[in-house]
Amino acid sequence: MRLKETSGQVIGLLGWLLLTYIAAAIGAAGSVQSRSFYEQLVQPAWAPPGWVFGPVWTVLYTLMAIAAWLVWRSGGFRRNKIALGFFVGQLALNALWSWLFFEWQLGGWAFIEILALLATLAITVVLFWRTRPVAGTLLIPYLLWVAFAAVLNYAIWQLNPQLLG
């Protein structure tokens, strides 16, 4: 690979990492007070402790960015606009969920929204898989985590109707 191509690929990877981490930061801004709020909620016995979420999400966001970069490398936006469009859409839904659940304490709306995220993400996985199977594979842990989070969202919402309207 020539130097110009290599630098373009590095810039592309950095761009996808930046976009993905911006979405993470927007979501994090909606959950600044989440630790105290999360700890006061009645939770199912199988709910992970609050400290688990940060490390898990850090790994997942990194995998997401790498997956998007791999798809982008296979023809750019022009060839993969639908797949990358779904990716950006699921990033927006991902960032919104924290605001709905933690900041605005709307458990039912957060649950509906996470189902939309799950559907959008499932489509993204399929589209990424068709373009670069490894890119689709990199999103599977994220898909599983969001499915788990949807079940957890529902359970916590049902256990806390007074706090999560």
Residues of the chain with pLDDT under 70: 1-4
Domain count, the chain: 1
Residue 155 lies in a domain: yes
Q: What is the CATH number of the domain that holds 110?
A: 1.20.1260.100
Residue 149 lies in a domain: yes
Alpha carbon distance 134, 147 (integer Å): 20
pLDDT score at 1: 56
Residue 11 lies in a domain: yes
Residue 90 lies in a domain: yes
pLDDT score at 165: 80
Q: CA–CA distance from 127 to each of 16, 67, 155 (Å)?
A: 17, 11, 30
In this prediction the pTM is 0.93
pLDDT score at 35: 79
Per the structure, the complete domain to which residue 103 belongs is given by 3-159
Residue 89 lies in a domain: yes
pLDDT tens for 8-36 read 899 999 999 999 999 999 999 998 877 78
Q: Is 18 exposed, middle or buried (0-12, 13-18, 19+ CB in 10 A)?
A: exposed
What is the DSSP code string of the chain?
--HHHHHHHHHHHHHHHHHHHHHHHHHHHTTTTHHHHHHHS---TTPPPGGGHHHHHHHHHHHHHHHHHHHHHTTHHHHHHHHHHHHHHHHHHHHHHHIIIIIS--HHHHHHHHHHHHHHHHHHHHHHHHH-HHHHHHHHHHHHHHHHHHHHHHHHHHH-TTT--
pLDDT score at 4: 66
pLDDT score at 3: 62
